[in-house]
Amino acid sequence: IPALEEVDLTNCDREPIHLSGHIQPHGVLLVVREPELEIVQASKNTQDLLGIDAESAIGQDLSLLFDQIQLEKLKTCLRKENLKTVNPIKLSVERAGKYLEFDCILHRQEEEVLMVELELATSPENLSVFSFYNSVRATVSKIQSTPNLKELCQLTVEEIRKISGFDRVMVYQFDPEGNGAVIAEAKAEKLSPFLGLNYPSSDIPKQARKLYSLNWLRLIPDINYQPVPLVSGKNAASIQPLDLSFTVLRSVSPIHIEYLQNMGVAASMSISLIKDQKLWGLIACHNYTPKYLNYELRAACEFIGQVMSLELQSKEGNEDYDYKLHLKSILTKIFEDISTSENLSQVLVKCQHNLLEAVNAQGAAIVFGDNCYRVGQTPQGEALKYLTQWVQNNLNKEIFYTDSLTKCYPEAEEFKDTASGCLAVAISPTQKIYVLWFRPEVIKTVNWAGNPNKPVEKDEDGNPRLSPRKSFELWKENVRYKSLPWKECEIDAALELKKAMINIVLCQVDKLEKLNT
Ligand code: BLA
């Protein structure tokens, strides 16, 4: 495990971000042993917020901070089965004759190890319950009535922006390799859009993704903060290094801070989107000045993230449903053309464009022995001839498809712009009739809106180490020689077409035989 100061761009997926031993300074963390409620670790900033220095708090119990009434309030909560449901508890601490009110957030790290996080409360006690309820109630019913994924995402970013006030709120969706794209955005008018931008998987390393699938929300109110170390007493030995996975104040990776600096961002919040127990994406929020949200508002945002997560299942299903209907209607048109044609070449003349749309390809080649009929963008001449031969020799299943042709056929590199993806079926191997469909390299099909923000920090050579521009370069490397993947319904459509085409070829053979007898 690399130490914090040894983390760099090459080993950052091994950085133990949950063991940083530091928190952000907008609250204090106390690690408390039950049942005595003895403070065994404390963040160094207790002096700033509570007026007691961390070293002298250690070894004492919580009555050092809280009077009898507050302590009783706390103890009542500790008897609750699910501690999370009591958060936040409003607790006050007397300091120089005045009472300061705190949001206290509790969870148990392990048995009898209680994590107590205190943030200065910023809203009056009763009002907050109502505002939480009101802001979320309307949003939830709107979210549930959106008809499809696109509108679900758009509505959610708009609602999160209204509730949180962040300058920019995005839905960031992962692909199967972990690369991501901004698929919805709500932003302050003056900002240039990130919508449609793509980023490599390395922008959010593995261990961070794992953490984000366990907890729903993290906030960095001010990226230029000084991390606050934890101070321990002798009774803390068994819980060192302290696992900060579920603390809300956890200090974030310095690499990520640098990334945000280079993006020109001053505050960041992200909310997990989880589908089928997997991290599907994030709601990513940026502010260009420091921005703090109190616990209630964070809880409202977290709740909306959870509601959106539940909706993903059905809305994504719907998306496929609409698309499948579309493919079906295209197939029907082609079948009509087939029924009114004498032979395969006639079909092809009639249904040119539909032949591509049936599987969402940009090009197709129908090979009849030495002859070839082409639609859209395809490899040409010799290149196509050799590819076809290769397909003939290697098509040993009902269908062949790949979103990365160069992996199995390295020569494909020269025509990556037309055929990084390929799907092929045999209509008649004896007569050497084949259909090949093509998709270009994905880079050609996605939308890159240009450098979204002027990078600010530079390294010795004058280049920013981490920036969206760099990320785009990296993402391009990640998706090199790859097309968009073939969906199951597209593969099914190709198989349907194959059946229909085989039929028309067989009919022709029949007719020829009848003529001959
Ligand atoms: C974390 N990286 C993150 C997070 C996001 C991103 C959203 C979650 C933390 C947060 O809420 O701010 C990335 N943010 C993005 C992207 C967009 C965005 C892609 O807004 C697009 C619009 N980061 C790198 C590289 C490394 C890296 C190269 O770019 C490592 C070599 C590391 N990113 C990194 C780490 C974390 C992270 C370690 C975890 C931070 C933490 O939770 O401690």
Residues 169 and 288 both lie in one domain: yes
Ligand 1: which residue has its CA nearest to atom 2? 204
Residues 493 and 379 both lie in one domain: yes
- CA nearest 163: which of 59, 293, 270? 293
Residues 308 and 399 both lie in one domain: no
CB atoms closer than 10 angstroms to residue 98: 8
- CATH number of the domain residue 285 falls in: 3.30.450.40
Q: Which residues of the chain have pLDDT under 50?
A: 1-2, 446-458
Ligand 1: which residue has its CA nearest to atom 32? 256
Ligand 1: which residue has its CA nearest to atom 4? 204
Ligand 1: which residue has its CA nearest to atom 5? 204
Q: How far is the CA of 204 from the centre of ligand 1 (A)?
A: 4
Residues 264 and 353 both lie in one domain: no
Instruction: Please choose from 259, 260, 268, 272 the residue to mutate so as to test ligand 1's pocket, defined by most ligand atoms within 8 A of CB.
Output: 259
Number of domains in the chain: 2
Ligand 1: which residue has its CA nearest to atom 30? 12
The predicted pLDDT at position 449 comes to 34
Order of strands, sheet of 421-428, starting from the edge strand that comes earlier in the sequence? 371-376, 363-368, 433-439, 421-428, 400-402
The predicted pLDDT at position 110 comes to 85
Backbone angles phi, psi at 76, to 5 degrees: -60, -45
Cβ contacts of 213 within 8 Å, gap of 6 or more? 272, 274, 277, 278, 279
The predicted pLDDT at position 284 comes to 97
Instruction: Please choose from 19, 210, 256 the residue to mutate so as to test ligand 1's pocket, defined by most ligand atoms within 8 A of CB.
Output: 256
Residue 332 belongs to a domain: no
Q: Which residues of 127-160 are buried (b: 16+ CB within 10 A; e: fewer)?
A: ebeeebeebbeebbeebeebeebeebbbbbbbbb
Residues 417 and 288 both lie in one domain: no
The predicted pLDDT at position 83 comes to 87
Backbone angles phi, psi at 369, to 5 degrees: 55, -115
Residues 277 and 368 both lie in one domain: no
Residue 446 belongs to a domain: no
Domain that holds residue 70: 4-316
Contact status, residue 43 vs residue 23, Cβ threshold 8 Å: yes
In whole angstroms, give the CA distance from residue 366 to residue 237: 72
Residue 471 belongs to a domain: no
Residue 277 belongs to a domain: yes
Residues 111 and 253 both lie in one domain: yes
Cβ contacts of 406 within 8 Å, gap of 6 or more? 412, 413, 416, 420, 481
Residue 456 belongs to a domain: no
**Residues at CB less than 6 angstroms from ligand 1:** 9, 12, 15, 17, 170, 172, 180, 182, 194, 199, 202-205, 208, 218, 220, 252-253, 255-256, 259, 268-270, 282, 284, 466, 471
- CATH number of the domain residue 428 falls in: 3.30.450.270
Residues 304 and 379 both lie in one domain: no
Residues 90 and 203 both lie in one domain: yes
Residues 310 and 355 both lie in one domain: no
Residue 330 belongs to a domain: no
Q: How far is the CA of 277 from the centre of ligand 1 (A)?
A: 21
Q: How far is the CA of 201 from the centre of ligand 1 (A)?
A: 10
Ligand 1: which residue has its CA nearest to atom 15? 203
Atom of ligand 1 nearest to the CA of 208: 39
Q: How far is the CA of 163 from the centre of ligand 1 (A)?
A: 23
In whole angstroms, give the CA distance from residue 143 to residue 158: 11
Q: Which tokens in the block code for residue 132?
A: 């939480």
The predicted pLDDT at position 7 comes to 61
Residues 381 and 295 both lie in one domain: no
Residue 22 belongs to a domain: yes
Q: How far is the CA of 269 from the centre of ligand 1 (A)?
A: 11
DSSP state of 226: P
Residue range 141-172, pLDDT digits in tens: 999 999 889 999 999 999 999 999 999 999 99
Q: How far is the CA of 256 from the centre of ligand 1 (A)?
A: 5
Residue 509 belongs to a domain: yes
In whole angstroms, give the CA distance from residue 301 to residue 163: 8
Residues 348 and 276 both lie in one domain: no
The predicted pLDDT at position 56 comes to 93
In whole angstroms, give the CA distance from residue 264 to residue 329: 47
